[in-house]
Amino acid sequence: MNEIVHRINDFLKEFPPFSYLEKDELFGISGKVVVKFFEKGETIYEENTAPHPVIYVVNKGAVSLSNKARNILVETCDEGDLFGLRPLLTDSEYVFTAEASEDCILYTLKTDLLKPLLSRNARFALYVASVFAGTLEKRVASTQVIKANKFDPSLSGIENFQEMNVPVSCKGDLSIKDAALLMNKMNVNSLIIIDDGGLPIGIVTDKDLREKVVAGNIKRKSLISSIMISPVYCMKKTVTVAEVQIQMIRRRISHVLITEDGTTNSKPIGMLTNQDLVLAENNNPAIIIKQIRKTRDPVRLKQLRDATDQLLRYYLEREISMDYLIEIITEINDQIIKACIRGSMEEIEEHDYNEEEFSWISLGSEGRKEQLLRTDQDSGLIYKAVEGEDPEITKGKYLALARSVTMKLASIGYEYCPADMMASNPKWCMSFDDWKHTFGEWILNPGQEEILHTTIFLDYRKIIGNPDLTTQLTEYIFSIIDRAAPFLNLLAKNALLNPPPLTFFRNFVVERNGEHKDAFDIKQRAMLPLTDAARLLVLVQKVPKINNTSERFKALAELDKPNKDVYLLASDAYETLMRFRAENGLATNSNGRYIKPNELDKFQRVMLRNCFDPINDLQQIIKLRFQMSTLI
C-alpha cells in the first residue's frame, strides 16, 4: 500500500497545482487518493446532475468533456489534467458530460480535503481557479487561441467590460417577485441592492432565489432585502483577473462588484462573475500551460512563450508577488522544455527513448527557478548505462536527443550557452556513474575550474525523466560533503569574490569600458554574491532539494536562528533584484543584466542600494564560519 502512495505522490508532484504543495502536505493527500478505472466510452458524470464530492486527475488515458445538448466536444483532458472542479468551487450542477475517450485511470480526491488549501495556499487556489475559468468558457464558445499581441489580464482589458457588465440594482423595499421579474427582464443573474444614496448594501443572486424562495419558505411578496447577502464584496476596477480569481476562491463567491474605490462607500460601476473571467482566457497562465502541453511545434511554443513575456510584463506592473510569479514562469519554462524533449523523442526514429531511463536537468538560473526572461540555455542529461551495450552507442543515442532539444529551444528564443554548458555537449551528457564520478572529482579534488563548474552544476533540477537519478546523485553529493573541507573552503572563498557593489561615495560600481560602459551589472555584482552565499550555506547545512535562492535563504532562517534577520533580508533583496532585472530586460528587449543607474529615479536607486546591505552581512557570516578573515 505504501508503494502505491509513493507512486501517486511521485505523479502528482509533477503537475500543478499539486507541485505547489509542501512535501509532507502532498504526501498526506496522496495517501487519500482513490484510484478508479474507466473503460473507453464509459460515463464519469453527466451534465445537469449533482456534482460528486470529488475532483478528478487524469493519471493515464484521456477524458472528453462535452456539451451533449449542443453536441459539442468542449475539452480533452489527458495526463495530469484536472476536471470536475465544480463541487470544489460552487454548489451548482455539472455543465458538461465527462466520458472516458480512452481506457483511463483517474485519481479522485475529496473536495473536503482540498478546500482548506484554497484559503491557505494562493498559488494552489489561483491555478484551480484558472483551470475552472478556462474550462467554463467553453460553455459559450469553442477553444480560443492565445494571441501574443493581445494580452492584458486587467479588468479593463476584457472586451466591452463596461457595456456587458453594468450591474442592475434596486432598492431593498422591492418585493422578491418584482425583483425576480426585473432580473428576468434585464437578463442578469444578480441584483445589487442599494440605499437611497445609490450605495450598495447587498447582493441577491439567482442561487439565493432558488434556495431561499423556490426551495425555501420565504414568500415572494417579502422584501428583496430579506434574502440579500450583505455586505457585497467589492474591488477596484484596476484589479487584475488573477486577484479576482483568488478572492472568489477564498471567499466562496461567484460575483464581485466593481466600485470606484473598491468598497461599498462608492457607487457600483461594474459586475464581474465567474463566467466573465473566462473572457480573459487568452490571459490565463493555466491555459498557456495547457496549450504548451498539447503541442510539439516550436513555432507554436515560441508564440506561447512570447505570450508569457506579456504575462510577465503585466504581473510586474501590477506588482504581483514574486513567489507566485516565479512559480508561474518556471512552470511555463518547464513545460516548454518538456514539450521539446517529448517532440524530439517522437521525431528521432532510429532510437527508442524511455523517460524512466534518463533525466534531463536544468542548471543555473532555470535550475534555481529564476529564469523569468529567456536567457541562454544551461542543461545536462543523466542516463542509465545499458548492460551489455557499447557505452559510446548509448551516449550517442542521448546526444542525438540533446542536440535536437537544444536546437528547438534556441528556435523558441533560449539562446545557446556561450560556454556550451548544455546537454548537447558530450561533457554534460553522461551516464549516472559518470556524473557521480565527475561530482566526486570536483568535490574531493577541487581546483578553480572545479569550483567554477560546481557553482553552475550544483543548482541542477530535474525537468523530465526518472527522479531517482537526481535523487541518488544528490544523496551521493551530501554523503561526501563531510570529507570535503578543502572544497567548501574554496567555495567560500569564491563566494567572497564580489563585495557589495558600492564605491566609497555610495555610487554604483559600473563597467568602465566596453559595450556596457557606465552600466551596472546586476547579475555579476548584486545577484551572484547572494546566489553563491545561499548555495554554500545550504550545502553546509545539508538542505537538499531547495534550489531557488530566495527559498534557500528562508530555509536558512529556520536553521540558523541567530542570523535569521540577515537571511530574511537577503531573501527579500534577491526577489527585488529579480524584479529589477526582469523589468529592465522587458524594457530594453535584452536579458536585463545591465542597468543604467542614471536612468533610475531616486526611489529606484535607493531601493536597489538597499538590496546590497545583506551581501556584506552574509559575507561576514561566511568569513566567521570558515575562519577566512585573514585569508581574504
C-alpha cell belonging to residue 246:
483568488
127, 132, 133, 137 alpha-carbon torsion, rounded to 10°: 150
Whether the predicted pLDDT of 319 surpasses 80: no
Cell numbers 544523496 label which residue? 475
Q: According to the model, what pLDDT value does residue 324 have? A: 79
Residue 141 lies in a domain: no
Average pLDDT over residues 254-280: 81
Considering only residues 263 and 283, tell me which one the structure prediction assigns the higher pLDDT. Answer: 263
Q: How is residue 498 annotated by DSSP? A: S
In the chain, the number of structural domains is: 4
Angle at 53 between CA 50 and CA 54, to 5 degrees: 120
Q: According to the model, what pLDDT value does residue 157 have? A: 42
Residue 218 sits in the same domain as residue 159: yes
Q: According to the model, what pLDDT value does residue 504 have? A: 61
Q: How many CB atoms within 10 Å of residue 213?
A: 19
Q: How is residue 157 annotated by DSSP? A: G
Highest mean pLDDT among 107-116, 157-166, 288-297: 107-116
Alpha-carbon distance of 45 to 27, in angstroms, equals 28
Residue 349 sits in the same domain as residue 405: yes
Residues 63-89: pLDDT tens digits? 988 887 777 777 778 888 899 988 887
Nearest Cα neighbor of 271 from 251, 259, 257 is 257
- Burial (CB < 10 A; 0-12, 13-18, 19+), residue 149, is exposed
Residue 93 sits in the same domain as residue 191: no
Residue 263 lies in a domain: yes
Q: According to the model, what pLDDT value does residue 147 have? A: 30
Whether the predicted pLDDT of 235 surpasses 70: yes
Lowest mean pLDDT among 244-248, 311-315, 460-464, 493-497: 244-248
CB 547 within 8 A of CB 461: yes
- Look up residue 586 and give its amino acid: L
Residue 135 lies in a domain: no
Q: According to the model, what pLDDT value does residue 160 have? A: 37
Residue 532 sits in the same domain as residue 564: yes
Q: Mean pLDDT, the chain, as a whole number?
A: 86
Q: Residue 109: what are its φ and ψ, rounded to 5°?
A: -130, 130
Whether the predicted pLDDT of 190 surpasses 50: yes
Q: According to the model, what pLDDT value does residue 88 have? A: 86
C-alpha cell belonging to residue 468:
531517482
Q: Grade residue 270 by pLDDT with cuts at 50, 70 and 90.
A: confident
Residue 381 sits in the same domain as residue 352: yes
Residue 199 sits in the same domain as residue 76: no
Residues 89-130: pLDDT tens digits? 777 788 889 999 889 999 999 999 998 888 788 778 877 876
Whether the predicted pLDDT of 323 surpasses 90: no
Whether the predicted pLDDT of 138 surpasses 60: no
Whether the predicted pLDDT of 290 surpasses 80: no
Residues 599-609: pLDDT tens digits? 888 888 888 98
Average pLDDT over residues 515-534: 93
Residue 524 sits in the same domain as residue 426: no
Q: Grade residue 23 by pLDDT with cuts at 50, 70 and 90.
A: confident
Alpha-carbon distance of 526 to 577, in angstroms, equals 8
Among 225, 246, 281, the domain-final residue is 281
Residue 423 sits in the same domain as residue 548: no
Among 99, 120, 141, the domain-final residue is 120
As a whole-number percent, the residues of the chain with pLDDT over 90 amount to 55
Residue 290 lies in a domain: no
Q: According to the model, what pLDDT value does residue 598 have? A: 87
CB 270 within 8 A of CB 167: yes
Residue ranges with strand state E in 429-555: 429-431, 461-465, 520-521
Assign residue 369 a region (left: φ > 0; alpha: ψ between -120 and 50; beta: otherwise): left
Residue 377 sits in the same domain as residue 516: no
Residue 346 sits in the same domain as residue 424: yes
Residue 129 lies in a domain: no
Q: According to the model, what pLDDT value does residue 43 have? A: 95
Whether the predicted pLDDT of 532 surpasses 80: yes
Q: According to the model, what pLDDT value does residue 151 have? A: 34
Average pLDDT over residues 158-180: 74
Lowest mean pLDDT among 38-47, 60-69, 269-278, 515-524: 269-278
Lowest mean pLDDT among 19-28, 46-55, 145-154, 540-549: 145-154
Among 483, 504, 529, the domain-final residue is 483
Residue 125 lies in a domain: no
Q: According to the model, what pLDDT value does residue 75 have? A: 76
Strands 358-362, 461-465: pairing kind? antiparallel
- Burial (CB < 10 A; 0-12, 13-18, 19+), residue 514, is exposed
Residues 414-434: pLDDT tens digits? 999 999 999 999 999 999 999
As a whole-number percent, the residues of the chain with pLDDT over 70 amount to 91
579, 584, 589, 590 alpha-carbon torsion, rounded to 10°: -80
The residue range of the domain holding 45 is: 2-120
325: domain CATH number is: 3.30.460.10
Alpha-carbon distance of 87 to 91, in angstroms, equals 6
Cα dihedral sign for 423, 427, 429, 432? negative
Q: According to the model, what pLDDT value does residue 533 have? A: 96
Average pLDDT over residues 426-453: 95
Residues 341-384: pLDDT tens digits? 999 999 998 999 999 999 999 999 999 999 999 989 999 999 99
94: domain CATH number is: 2.60.120.10
209: domain CATH number is: 3.10.580.10
Residue 632 lies in a domain: no
Residue 257 sits in the same domain as residue 328: no
Residue 251 lies in a domain: yes
Residues 615-630: pLDDT tens digits? 999 999 999 999 875 4
Residue 336 sits in the same domain as residue 451: yes
**381 vs 356, 358, 576, CA distance in Å?**
13, 7, 32
